[in-house]
Structure 1
Amino acid sequence: TVILAEQHFHNLIDMGWDDVQLYTAGCEDRGTAITVGTHAILGDEQLLASAVFVTVDEFQRTGVSQRAIIQKSHPHFLLASATPLPRSMMISVLGGLSVSEIRQQPIQRGNVIVRWVLPQKRDGVYSIVERELNKGHQAFIIYPRIGDEEQEQSAVKGLREWSQRYDENDSEFDASDVALLTGKTSPEDKLDIFRQFKEGHIRILISTIIVEVGIDCKNATVAVVVGADKFGLAQLWQIRGRVCRSEDTSFLLLLAETSNETSIARLDTIERAKTGFEIAEHDLRLRGAGEVFSTRQTGLPDLRWCSLVDDYDLMIEAKETVQAGSVGSGVREMMELKYGKSLELGGVV
């Protein structure tokens, strides 16, 4: 999140804004018109109380309690995400959140080819990666765990394998073109690796899911996800977003072999999906939306006779009936009796 905040901060500076501050852990409010920051902002009650407008980028990475802290100050509130949370989809149906969907692709964006690849066909994956590197592009190789040099599907072992591949194949690339970025990397080294990758000094970035947000490198055109069945739908969609940032055709290659029906459904969905709302809808079916009057953001909601996906029109009609005042005055009292203080969470998007 620090990397993402810094990108937004520098983008605003480049656009000509000068009354802006970057707020991360350990910072103090300087009273600027615009504050760009991480979750650290949530600990500054005075700063939040003075805000008239708050936008949360990549809001799927925040919890219900964190969003409740922001809404407590009653600012105008905008949530932005390429992968809406199932809970937020539910709140939009129940009336607490209005939704605007950007359906058009950004200008000057190429196609993204998404393929599920079985491990025995990984030579084809190597060929695509090397072809893109030969064009001058860059690649992400993403693993489900940090691990060690002996552990399968680990980033540390992946670093050794990809480095050896270029040392042994008499390639124009060598081990110095490959770098490792994980959650154990120090904050200073993370920023340095990110800078080197963005400037093109690092050609292949071996990483864990840490790269799902915050890295904006238009020259990266291929992402290989090893053990893709270990990742969630939203995570895979976010990784897809790392490589569709230029006019060039990009590739998301999902290496996985699984017989698990849920994992197969996720991989099939990510191959076909075109929008984040499709991902959210499938996530609703697979994981549930959680509960309205709780901090749970997944799982089966407290709905006995209807489905948020299949009965959408009926639920919209019910919402409009309530908003028109056609419901008895005892409903609120009944809800308070059942949910108590948790009822307040129903207004948290």
Structure 2
Amino acid sequence: MIKLEDISVQQIKGVSAQKEQELHAFGVHSVADLLDYFPYRYEDYRIRGLEEAKDGEKVTIQGKIMSDGLLQRYGKGKSRLTCRVAVEGLLVTAVWFNRHFLKEQLTSGREIVLTGKWEQRRLQITVSESEFPDRGTMRSGSVQPVYSVGGSITQAWMRKTLAQALAQYGSMLEEILPVHLVDKHQLMTRKEAVELIHNPGDAEAGQTARRRLVYEELFLFQLKLQAYRALTRDRVQGVAHVVSAESIRQFVKTLPFELTDSQKKVVNEILIDMRSPGCMNRLLQGDVGSGKTVVAAIALFATVQAGHQGALMVPTEILADQHYRSLQKMFGAVGIEVGLLTGSMTERRKRDVLAGLQMGLIQVVVGTHAIIQDGVHFNSLGLVVTDEQHRFGVNQRSILRRKGINPDVLTMTATPIPRTLAITAFGDMDVSTLRERPKGRKPIQSYWVKHSMLDRVLGFIRREADLGRQAYFICPLIEESEKLDVQNAIDLHVQLQQAFPDMAIGLLHGRLSTAEKDEAMAAFSRNETQVLVATTVVEVGVDVPNATLMIIMDAERFGLSQLHQLRGRVGRGEHQSYCVLIADPKSEVGRERMKVMTVTDDGFEVARRDLDIRGPGDFFGTKQSGVPDFKLADMAVDFAILEEAREDAADLTRQEDFWTNPIYSRLRDLLKRDQLFQGDLLD
């Protein structure tokens, strides 16, 4: 039986070979891909009365042209076209910019429908789209989907092509969800939902269709996680680490600091998992500076004590080098051999490390993605730790996992996530949380100042530099932009060099090569540069205990979670640290963010307030959490649906019936199609 996934988009009437290639750039290859290319919002073209039109908003109105079009040309190829339109007894001025070709169509007495920005005081509409009822086909009076488009693919073409695709192939849309779940949640059928989301008639119908498709998307996501959990926990023999509590206590005594109560609790949770014969799959989340590395070190010590090897994978070479040095210090007293493996190492050093791993002479290895290269072989890999796990793809993590025989897995993140949301989002993991700061760490003092106080901020930098300390200076953009009036890194770097001619000012941004970034950060770590001007590439990264000042320019441009991550780059040493937010926020949301940052430095409280203020935004995007970029679903807005989907998926995968009954074959096929099965394992 032919499925929509097997039919090329070129089979749709009106899709040429050129258009097919352009659709490929959007990830659309088959008819199924196109039908699942959902609108991200709707344009309301329903005609409104002037009493409903709000100043500054987009409206659609209908009236009669009362004067011929008046065309004014200015600048190079620019024009302004105006005419007067009678709407409900009022004379409205309609203005088009750079639409000179419409002049001949604007004849007195002709009916016209206008869509654009309404200015109440001037009784004027700046027209973005216009239609003439005497032409027949009308968009007005309806709600139209808006898609992400580009190149020669326009909104009009996409709407027309999707309508054609539904006409040709809509009857082939199959139900994916089990019938009992459709009935349980009173959902419309998949066919109805896909048709309605592309052609809703009104916004309410579009929302009903969206709810059905959001549930489906979240259910299928959770099904993968829960199926993985069911298979790995119940059917897979992992590494049972035999390690005594006394040896762990003796190792902890060698550390130069006392564990917090939170660290002790999390270590116990991890060790219970490691001692069991099943595969540990645990997420360790903790605020910046909460001591996750020490917890990981104790877990790595436990795997070595049990006769196995451990691997710690991190996203950058600087971070790898930092962890390597800190683990060497911690493990030096107990005789554990630590190796480092990165892409920039010499071939000779790399060969030595590879040989040491294969023979079991190196017991713990720290490295970047170089660890997952084909030539890396372990003698007995018992534990895999990934730091800032969202930086690695699922495939990269699974390759490392397969270098052992079902080793335990500990993933760490500094992105604080409310516990209930974390457990739901990371449905395949148990979640441990570090809430306390290590003893001796001083809270970071945060201040919000206006741009007019920049001179005082520069004086603050001078004061800290005179004490031998260092400062980060963060800004949103690399180069000047006409669109955003924000400070940029390159200009700011020049300004600070002029302000502090006796100080070394570093520059770090995303357009530098990896080697240049590493060198800029390394120079700052060595205190060869006193101030580092940077974009957000320093958000997650190197520990520079001597850096005590974090200044964030145009702070209102950042989300709360991002601001908190940036603030966490300081406050890592014994000296008092500060975060200065330079901002003149115009919006209430911007002002609220600044207030939150100055009243709390608890990452979990910041995360909770972030969700309260504006939903997840980048908080739950792919950049920070590892959660996939959903087509429709929003992890916070659709949290209730996510909870339902998780429970349903967990219930289903626990039943033997799910793995054998033909009625669930479509769902099992989807798991296989996504290449989630490795032999009998889902990964």
Q: Give the TM-score normalised by structure 1.
A: 0.76
Residue 54 (structure 1) aligns with? 384
Post-superposition CA distance 1:271-319 (Å, at most 9, x none)? 455444445556663237579xx972467538899625x997x889x48
Q: Which residue, 72, 78, 94 being the options, matches 2:410?
A: 78
Residue 19 (structure 1) aligns with? 337
Change (3 A) 1:140 1:295: closer
Post-superposition CA distance 1:56-114 (Å, at most 9, x none)? 11223233443344455532111112215799944556641111111111121111122
- 1:156 aligns to 2:485 (yes or no): no
Change (3 A) 1:115 1:179: same
Letter in 2 for 1:7: Q
Pairwise CA distance, 1:247: 3.1
- 1:165 aligns to 2:499 (yes or no): yes
Change (3 A) 1:240 1:85: same
Contact map agreement 1:149 1:157 (CA 8 A) in 2: no
Q: Distance in 2 between matches of 1:23 and 1:166?
A: 39
Contact map agreement 1:86 1:297 (CA 8 A) in 2: no
Q: Which residue, 520, 527, 538 being the options, matches 1:200?
A: 527
Residue 256 (structure 1) aligns with? 583
Change (3 A) 1:211 1:321: closer
- 1:106 aligns to 2:438 (yes or no): yes
Q: Distance in 1 between matches of 2:630 and 2:445?
A: 29
Contact map agreement 1:83 1:279 (CA 8 A) in 2: no
Residue 4 (structure 1) aligns with? 319
Question: Which sections of structure 1, spanning at least 5 residues, go unmatched?
Answer: 168-173
Residue 542 (structure 2) aligns with? 215
- 1:142 aligns to 2:142 (yes or no): no
Q: Which moved more, 1:321-330 or 1:116-125?
A: 321-330
Instruction: Using the aligned pairs only, state the percent identity.
Output: 31
Note the 1:319-330 alignment, pairs <5 A. Answer: 322=651, 325=654, 329=658
Of structures 1 and 2, the larger Rg is shown by 2
Contact map agreement 2:442 2:576 (CA 8 A) in 1: yes
Residue 171 (structure 1) aligns with? none
The DSSP-based 3-state class of the residue aligned with 1:99 is: strand
Q: Give the TM-score normalised by structure 2.
A: 0.42
Q: Distance in 2 between matches of 1:11 and 1:76?
A: 22
Which has more strand, going by share of residues? 2
Q: Distance in 2 between matches of 1:257 and 1:237?
A: 18
Change (3 A) 1:19 1:306: same
Pairwise CA distance, 1:251: 1.4
Contact map agreement 2:384 2:401 (CA 8 A) in 1: no
Contact map agreement 1:222 1:251 (CA 8 A) in 2: yes
Question: Which sections of structure 2, spanning at least 5 residues, go unmatched?
Answer: 1-315, 345-349
Q: Distance in 2 between matches of 1:295 and 1:93?
A: 7
Letter in 1 for 2:472: F
Change (3 A) 1:295 1:221: closer
Letter in 2 for 1:57: D
Higher relative contact order, structure no. (Cα contacts within 8 Å, ≥ 6 residues apart): 1
The DSSP-based 3-state class of the residue aligned with 2:322 is: helix
Q: Distance in 2 between matches of 1:340 and 1:283?
A: 37
Post-superposition CA distance 1:26-56 (Å, at most 9, x none)? 6452322221111232333754795321111
Q: Distance in 1 between matches of 2:514 and 2:653?
A: 52
Letter in 2 for 1:3: I
The DSSP-based 3-state class of the residue aligned with 1:36 is: strand
Residue 341 (structure 1) aligns with? 673
Contact map agreement 2:443 2:601 (CA 8 A) in 1: no
RMSD (CA atoms): 4.3
Pairwise CA distance, 1:263: 5.2
Residue 372 (structure 2) aligns with? 42
Q: Which moved more, 1:62-71 or 1:244-253?
A: 62-71
Q: Which residue, 265, 286, 291 being the options, matches 2:616?
A: 286
The DSSP-based 3-state class of the residue aligned with 2:569 is: helix
Contact map agreement 1:217 1:245 (CA 8 A) in 2: yes
Post-superposition CA distance 1:161-195 (Å, at most 9, x none)? 1111124xxxxxx1x43222334555555555444
Equivalenced residue count is 336
Letter in 2 for 1:238: Q
Change (3 A) 1:191 1:265: same
Change (3 A) 1:129 1:319: farther
Letter in 2 for 1:215: V
Contact map agreement 1:57 1:79 (CA 8 A) in 2: yes
Pairwise CA distance, 1:267: 4.5
Pairwise CA distance, 1:337: 5.4
Q: Distance in 2 between matches of 1:251 and 1:211?
A: 16
Letter in 2 for 1:33: Q
Pairwise CA distance, 1:122: 2.5
